[in-house]
Chains A and B, each alone.
Chain A
Amino acid sequence: MQLTEDNIYRSSSQFRNWSFTPAKLAAQRQTTNIQASERVKAAFARQRAQRARQPDTASASESERGNGSGIDTGSNTPIPVTNPADVNCLTVAEEMKLVDSFCERTLELGKFLKFPIEVTATAIQFLRRFYLVNSPMTYEPQTISRSTMYLSTKVECHHRPAADYAAMLTKTTPESVIAPEYLIVQGLRFTFDVKHPFRGLKGGHLELMEMARGNAAPTPHNTQTPAELQKAMQALPKKAGEPPSHLSAADLEKRITHAYTLASDTLKSVALLTDAYFLYTPSQIWLAAHLLADEPLTAFYLSTKIPTSSPMYPKLLSRLNACAELLSSHRKFASQGTSEEEKKAREERDKKEVSALMKKLKQCRDPDKLDLVKLNQAQKRDALNADGQLEESKAKRRKMDRDALKKEEGDFWGPELPSRNGEKA
């Protein structure tokens, strides 16, 4: 009974629940969008009907809600009750754009908080996974992204108490961080393990370095001796299509380290912001990033693992190229061609687009899910009512129970044990 590396990966929840074909991914987003739009429209229709019935009280409660929620959930402006047919819902592409931008913000948040990259990376993947099954129209990305970050600190062994975490951020209370937590966990389908390509890249780098020093470990498919491999490696062209070079051992190591640094940068930024995690496996992602950093080297490394003659090799290379294309197509990918001004202009354009989308989102937020903190509190056992008081009957019964218990404490055999159905026996 033996397992290969691939078997191990197949057993992961990332492969079982969070891997999609491009078509499936698009279909999933489409369904989520349609369902969320339906919900929003239905909620608006209900609100309108209610308002038509009792115009005065409804408007009063409307303004009250705007002031009542002290936490920033984007609901500070009273929502105009529009005709449900007129509600302009976000499209799938707009939703994606929003989520992408919040992934970027999460990345910056991680840098600002000086969290390890694993924490940020996991938080971003949680966010992306969450918004596969939920829409930004239903749950506000700002709140959710802060909560995923908090959840991720727990998953990646970098836990901060909620109060400390909230204190590091502006306009955030511990309650607002914790409130959507269960919602997120449910959206993640209780799978917390995100397999990142970071460690894989390190593993590959280790092997490449040893190979460059002429002590490569043998693999089943490779018949070359370590010395031959080293020689072939030193003769690799700088770029595909160029004549072979002759690097010294030290230069070769430098080249490998350079490729590693570039690939690592790609993995820590662009790879997180695209759908790469949904479409490819971590080892494919890191090899694609390495391919972008140094193509001849990566191709050579791959050929030592899988013989170029086997049908597996071109198949794998095509996937790696596709993944590399996906990574390099991202706006943030620092390609050599673009100038500073162009980059700046692009960022500016992107910013504008996002802020326009945020405005649009405010118009089509699901009115039932505006204040997650309150919803969360209502869910709890000791739900507080509007005045911050326990329900009267409940409070009364508690008090009576407490008094009775106190009275019985003096008894020789102690107070009576509660029976199973909660009543006194």
Chain B
Amino acid sequence: MSTKAGLRAGDGAKDGGASPLSKSLYNLSIQQPSSSSSMSRADTTSDICPVCKSSRYLNPNMQFLLNPECYHKMCESCVDRIFSHGPAPCPIAGCRRTLRKVKFRKITFEDLKVEREVDIRKRVARVLNKQLSDFETLRDYNDYLETAEEVTWNLILGVDVEATNRKLQLWEDSQKAERNPNAVKRSFQADSSTTSDGSHGVVLKKGGTQRKAMASSSGNTPDPSASLDEAFLETGFAFKGLKKYVPPPPEKPFDPYGGWSVKPQLYTLRGDYDVEWLTKVKDDPSHVAGGYDMHEFYSRALCEAFGGLGVFIDEEIPARENQSSGNAVIGTQTAAAAATGAKDVNMDDVF
């Protein structure tokens, strides 16, 4: 890798490329060998599987995986070997956590601490996902961000992990209940039907949680202290100045005509018409089978029968032209003037 980069940069220099980029590349390639000794040592440690001790040097296709349960990495073949037959304890000495194969994934960051922090931040951001517009004041929003950061660092540093996780879970549930009460209710009902009679109380309690969650978010603004503490127990967090969630209004059914309808003036459509030349068509199964409705024909025929009956062209057309005079007249005049040349009438000559 490093040799290749050096070669390229060297080429650039040979070309006489005096551009700053090629120069800096060239410098880089020169400096690289001096630090290579330390680099190679780091490489050897990171390229050896801590479980089976095989190294990438011998097996260039080796892939490392990790499990977000304990963030210990191991090679792909070790994962296959150890976890193919179901959950097993982590093979790294002193860990002993139970891992599952499905949870293993490729490593994104070389530094596994970063990998773990990114995961934690992702999770917290998914649950604590408020925006500035959700708060009454900027101050409230900043307080909220402060809390979110505190939760994140608690998890990263392993302080109060249990309590923090529970709080996050409570908050997530309460948010879900608020956003989509139907879905939550349905899932709870399904629970009660599957479990026995004893769980009935649980269902009731959860229903209560839901109601209180609504109440707390609605009564958030005017009188905080008392209700905030109470809400704290139910929802995990209580944020000052959080606006009440207003569900979006239900969507109206789609109207392809945009609110317009046809109101015939001169006729009323009957359900059926009986004429000799129609009976054949009416009884023809090949018409009916395709979904053709005779009613469509009636409405179209009658609409065409009277559409434009009251439109007097000799009056309306001049009136329309007077109305749109001014620019339009000048426009057509210039067009006509242009057309009197070699051009065709009123339009370009295609040929």
B245 at the A interface (CB under 8 A): no
Known contacts A3-B261, A22-B314; decide if A284 and B309 are in contact (CB<8 Å): yes
A8 at the B interface (CB under 8 A): yes
Instruction: Report which residue of B266, B307, B313, B348 has the largest number of chain A beta carbons within 10 angstroms of its beta carbon.
Output: B307
Which listed residue (A138, A281, A312) contacts B313, Cβ 8 A?
A281
A10 adjacent to B311 (CB under 8 Å)? yes
A107 at the B interface (CB under 8 A): no
For window 249-286 of A, CB contacts with B under 8 Å fall at 257, 279-284, 286
A220 at the B interface (CB under 8 A): yes
Cβ proximity bits A287-318 to B, threshold 8 Å, 1 near / 0 not? 10000000000000000011000001001100
Which listed residue (B263, B266, B275) contacts A305, Cβ 8 A?
B266
A219 adjacent to B304 (CB under 8 Å)? no
Q: Which residue of chain B is the closest to A42 with respect to CB atoms? A: B342
For window 258-284 of B, CB contacts with A under 8 Å fall at 259-270, 273-276, 278
B126 at the A interface (CB under 8 A): no
Which listed residue (A5, A35, A186, A220) contacts B340, Cβ 8 A?
A35
B183 at the A interface (CB under 8 A): no
A203 adjacent to B262 (CB under 8 Å)? no
A357 at the B interface (CB under 8 A): no
A283 adjacent to B340 (CB under 8 Å)? no
A200 adjacent to B301 (CB under 8 Å)? yes
Known contacts A186-B350, A209-B275; decide if A6 and B307 are in contact (CB<8 Å): yes
Number of A-B contacts (CB under 8 A): 169
B114 at the A interface (CB under 8 A): no
A35 adjacent to B345 (CB under 8 Å)? yes
B302 adjacent to A15 (CB under 8 Å)? no
B304 adjacent to A182 (CB under 8 Å)? no
Q: Which residue of chain A is the closest to B346 with respect to CB atoms? A: A133
A209 adjacent to B350 (CB under 8 Å)? no
In the bound complex, what is the Cα–Cα distance between A85 and B170 (angstroms)? Answer: 98
A283 adjacent to B304 (CB under 8 Å)? yes
B263 adjacent to A2 (CB under 8 Å)? yes
B275 adjacent to A4 (CB under 8 Å)? no
B351 at the A interface (CB under 8 A): yes
For window 318-351 of B, CB contacts with A under 8 Å fall at 318, 336, 339-340, 342, 344-348, 350-351
How far in angstroms is the closest Cβ of chain A from B97? Answer: 46
Bin the interface of chain B by size. Answer: 35 or more
Q: Which residues of B contact A282 (CB under 8 A)?
A: 304, 307-308
Instruction: Report which residue of B304, B336, B350 has the largest number of chain A beta carbons within 10 angstroms of its beta carbon.
Output: B304
Q: Which residues of A contact B345 (CB under 8 A)?
A: 31-32, 35, 133-134
Known contacts A5-B303, A183-B351; decide if A219 and B342 are in contact (CB<8 Å): no
A5 adjacent to B309 (CB under 8 Å)? yes
A364 at the B interface (CB under 8 A): no
Which listed residue (A187, A189, A200, A306) contacts B305, Cβ 8 A?
A200
Q: Which residues of A contact B344 (CB under 8 A)?
A: 35, 133-134, 138
How far in angstroms is the closest Cβ of chain B from A286? Answer: 7
Q: Which residues of A contact B312 (CB under 8 A)?
A: 315, 319
In the bound complex, what is the Cα–Cα distance between A50 and B309 (angstroms)? Answer: 57
Q: Which residue of chain A is the closest to B343 with respect to CB atoms? A: A35
Cβ proximity bits A189-233 to B, threshold 8 Å, 1 near / 0 not? 100000101011111111101100101011110000000000000
How far in angstroms is the closest Cβ of chain A from B264? Answer: 6
A369 adjacent to B313 (CB under 8 Å)? no
Bin the interface of chain A by size. Answer: 35 or more
A21 adjacent to B265 (CB under 8 Å)? no
B318 adjacent to A21 (CB under 8 Å)? yes
B232 at the A interface (CB under 8 A): no
Cβ proximity bits A30-64 to B, threshold 8 Å, 1 near / 0 not? 01101100110010000000000000000000000
Which DSSP category, helix, strand, loop or mixed, fits chain A's interface? helix
Which listed residue (A182, A257, A281) contacts B308, Cβ 8 A?
A281
How far in angstroms is the closest Cβ of chain A from B325? Answer: 14
A210 adjacent to B273 (CB under 8 Å)? yes
In the bound complex, what is the Cα–Cα distance between A331 and B235 (angstroms)? Answer: 91
Q: Which residues of A contact B256 (CB under 8 A)?
A: none
A369 adjacent to B351 (CB under 8 Å)? yes
B103 at the A interface (CB under 8 A): no
How far in angstroms is the closest Cβ of chain A from B84? Answer: 37
Q: Which residues of A contact B347 (CB under 8 A)?
A: 133, 186-187, 189
Known contacts A5-B265, A5-B266, A24-B317; decide if A39 and B304 are in contact (CB<8 Å): no
Q: Which residues of A contact B267 (CB under 8 A)?
A: 207, 217, 219, 305
B310 at the A interface (CB under 8 A): yes
A376 at the B interface (CB under 8 A): yes
Known contacts A31-B336, A316-B310; decide if A39 and B317 are in contact (CB<8 Å): no
Q: Which residues of B contact A209 (CB under 8 A)?
A: 273-275
Which listed residue (B275, B304, B314) contacts A200, Cβ 8 A?
B304
How far in angstroms is the closest Cβ of chain A from B268? Answer: 4
How far in angstroms is the closest Cβ of chain B from A143? Answer: 13
In the bound complex, what is the Cα–Cα distance between A202 and B274 (angstroms)? Answer: 12
Q: Which residues of B contact A24 (CB under 8 A)?
A: 317
How far in angstroms is the closest Cβ of chain B from A251? Answer: 15
Known contacts A35-B340, A206-B273, A209-B275; decide if A4 and B305 are in contact (CB<8 Å): no
In the bound complex, what is the Cα–Cα distance between A22 and B312 (angstroms)? Answer: 12
A19 at the B interface (CB under 8 A): yes
How far in angstroms is the closest Cβ of chain A from B33? Answer: 32
Known contacts A24-B317, A217-B267, A217-B269; decide if A3 and B301 are in contact (CB<8 Å): no
In the bound complex, what is the Cα–Cα distance between A205 and B277 (angstroms)? Answer: 11
In the bound complex, what is the Cα–Cα distance between A348 and B287 (angstroms)? Answer: 46
B261 adjacent to A19 (CB under 8 Å)? no
| Contacts A207-B267, A375-B351, A378-B351 supplied; 6 other A-B pairs, CB < 8 Å | A189-B347, A197-B304, A213-B274, A217-B268, A282-B304, A376-B351
List the interface of chain B (C-beta within 8 A of A). 259-270, 273-276, 278, 298, 300-314, 316-318, 336, 339-340, 342, 344-348, 350-351
